[in-house]
Amino acid sequence: MSLKKPEEKLLVDGKRIDGRKPNELRKIEMEVGVIPNANGSAKVAFGNTIVVAAVYGPRTLHSKHLQLYDRALLLCRYNMAPFSVEERKSPGPSRRSIEISKVTRLALEPAIFLEEYPQTVIDVYIEVIQADGSTRVTGINAASLALADAGVPMRDLIVALSGGKIEDTLIIDLCGKEDNYSEADIPLAFMPRNKEITLLQMDGRLEPKEVKKILKMIVKAGEKIYEEQKKALRGKYEE
């Protein structure tokens, strides 16, 4: 969300800067098993946003004081590579990456049968290789795939997608420029089977009826993401 005006129009004759319609997703690419040393891994691209996720565990948590006696501890780290954006990003954690790591954990936890692995830890590492908007939701899709690839028992996959408003038009899957100049944006994560929402954030201002409409657009487009996730998982085993 920004109060600044974009240098170019973000919407011309109903088409967005990359030619998409308001309810159109960018090109999606998904692959699992991309990091042999990890227990599970995935690479997910939404247009020019490329993210890799790796899962290690469940494995014994050696620091006894951190162990949970009734479930596994889920640790998530979201990180943007210094070369992932046009101007080099300084390495190391920031307020933003700490927040995204936390909301990623909250978005994933409801899907995982953590209670089956007490006293263990599941580490989820999310690395943004190239950033062009909506990195947190792309990261959540990749992490969910990597968890499934690791064989971690889950209630459902987590599907995540952003929605928002540009020039009074409701859109989904914001690219970088749209993200920077949007009037509002909503990252959403949910379990498609029972439509349980596990993450909903909002930046900017929207009417309640606009929020409802964006959520509907996201859930509808999420069906395609869910299919792509299942295809990527099946793909590994068909090979």
> What residues make contact with ligand ADP under the rule CB under 6 A?
85, 89, 96, 131-136, 176, 179, 187
As measured in angstroms, the least distance from the Cβ of 153 to ligand ADP is 28
As measured in angstroms, the least distance from the Cβ of 64 to ligand ADP is 35
Of 117 and 136, nearer to ligand ADP (C-beta) is: 136
As measured in angstroms, the least distance from the Cβ of 132 to ligand ADP is 5
Of 61 and 126, nearer to ligand ADP (C-beta) is: 126
Of 71 and 77, nearer to ligand ADP (C-beta) is: 77
DSSP 3-state of 238: helix
Of 84 and 229, nearer to ligand ADP (C-beta) is: 84
As measured in angstroms, the least distance from the Cβ of 7 to ligand ADP is 16
Number of CB atoms found within 10 A of residue 86's CB: 9
Task: Dig out the tokens for 239 from the structure.
Answer: 């090979």
Cβ atoms of 165 and 121 closer than 8 Å = no
What string of H, E and C letters represents the secondary structure of 197-223?
Answer: EEEECCEECCCHHHHHHHHHHHHHHHH
63 CB contacts (<8 Å, ≥6 apart)? none
Of 61 and 218, nearer to ligand ADP (C-beta) is: 218
Of 57 and 176, nearer to ligand ADP (C-beta) is: 176
Distances (CA, A) of 18 to 6, 12, 14, 132, 140: 15, 11, 12, 12, 24
Please give the sequence-ordered ranges of beta strands (E in DSSP) within the chain, or none if there are none. 11-12, 15-16, 28-32, 40-46, 49-60, 73-80, 120-130, 159-166, 169-172, 184-191, 196-200, 203-204
Cβ atoms of 30 and 198 closer than 8 Å = no
Q: Give the residue carrying structure tokens 């998904």.
A: 30
As measured in angstroms, the least distance from the Cβ of 200 to ligand ADP is 13
As measured in angstroms, the least distance from the Cβ of 115 to ligand ADP is 29
